Amino acid sequence: MITLFFAAGDDNWNQYEGPLILALEKAKISATILTKSPANPETVDYIIYAPVAGALTDFTPYRNVRAVLSLWAGVEKLAPNKTLRQPLCRMVDPGLTEGMVEYVVGHVLRQHLGIDRYIINPNHDWVQKCPPLARERSVGIMGLGTLGTAVTTALRALNFNLSAWGRSPKPDLEMPYFHGADGLEALLSRSEILVTLLPDTPDTRGLLNAQTIAYLPYGAALINPGRGTVIDDVALLAALDQGALSHATLDVFHQEPLPKTHRFWQHPKVTVTPHIAADTRPLTSSRVVVENIRRDQAGLALLHQVDLARGY
């Protein structure tokens, strides 16, 4: 019998109770699940975590915890915690990945096909302007983690001309790939549509600023369902105002909810979506959590373990 501490809030527990118990039963794992801070933290074997209001912040008493299993894909609110010395695993949920692929593909096609000119056409202008084929449209992907890889697979199936950028080398990719500071300009300068799927780390914050946004082709479109901190909002608005960028579709922001007074809401070249590009699904994510518990109990390596030094 193992002890789990569900440190993810009452609202999440209401959604996860059934799926988590079902996943444990299917894996034939006997567990006691605590939903409140235990009187004796040393009895806890695994912590299932989400950084909700009032969430656990001091992991020091949980000396025997074998892993902290996050329900969130992003761990920027947890990885810097100096009391966290236990292994941390981020959430890689198949349902979340599918949702992200659908969001990105939909918005890439929107920009590629120029759909807005027909939807927003109050004067009923008869403008016959055919878009290029997908193979003639250059799409850049920033970030080739689980989500970025899934997105490139879907866009490749539609024949888009893809290239990607990351912070470290990735040999043997089936598309142009650039990495590090030296490769950033090369990727941006060829991206008519840019998709950012980077994590929030000290190295990525403000990566798209006045200098780097200027590398994009004139009239490029930006789609950001990754992390709001990657973009300098002031620089982005300036590029949109000047016409250097044709559109920005933003799902994530420095402050969430996005303040009602923020210019993004009113800007004619900005689409705001309220952090809905992808969400963790209790049914599928419970299976991921339980699979990691099963693996650890069997002496196997944990899945999706975070490098705390790098922050992802």
The 10s digit of each residue's pLDDT in 57-105 is 999 999 999 999 999 988 988 999 999 999 999 999 999 999 999 999 9
Q: Give the H or E element holding residue 248.
A: strand 245-250
| pLDDT confidence of residue 280 | 86
Q: Does domain 94-272 have CATH number 3.30.70.20?
A: no
Element (H, E) at 289: helix 282-297
Residues 6 or more apart in contact with residue 101 via CB below 8 angstroms: 147, 150, 151, 154
User: 287 catalytic, yes or no?
Assistant: no
pLDDT at 165: 97
Q: Over the stretch 257-306, which tens digit does the pLDDT of each residue have? A: 999 999 999 999 999 999 999 888 999 999 999 999 999 999 999 999 99
Q: Tell me, what's the pLDDT at 114?
A: 96
What does the mean pLDDT of the chain come to?
95
Q: What's the pTM?
A: 0.88
> Has 262 been annotated as catalytic?
no
Q: pLDDT tens digit string along 119-174?
A: 988 899 998 889 999 999 999 999 999 999 999 999 999 999 999 999 888 888 88
Q: Pick the catalytic residue: 66, 137, 190, 227?
A: 227
Structure tokens at 120: 């927003």
pLDDT in tens, 32-57: 999 999 999 999 999 999 999 888 99
Domain spans, the chain: 2-93+280-297, 94-272
Q: Which of 179, 275, 281, 295 is catalytic?
A: 275
Count, residues in the chain: 312
CATH of domain 2-93+280-297: 3.40.50.720
CA distances from 160 to 123, 141, 174 (A): 32, 12, 13
Residue 174: predicted pLDDT: 85
Residue 259's contacts (CB-CB under 8 Å, 6 or more residues apart) are: none
pLDDT at 167: 84
Report how far apart, in Å, the C-alpha atoms of 297 and of each of 14, 71, 291 are.
26, 20, 10
The answer to whether domain 2-93+280-297 and domain 94-272 are alike in fold is yes
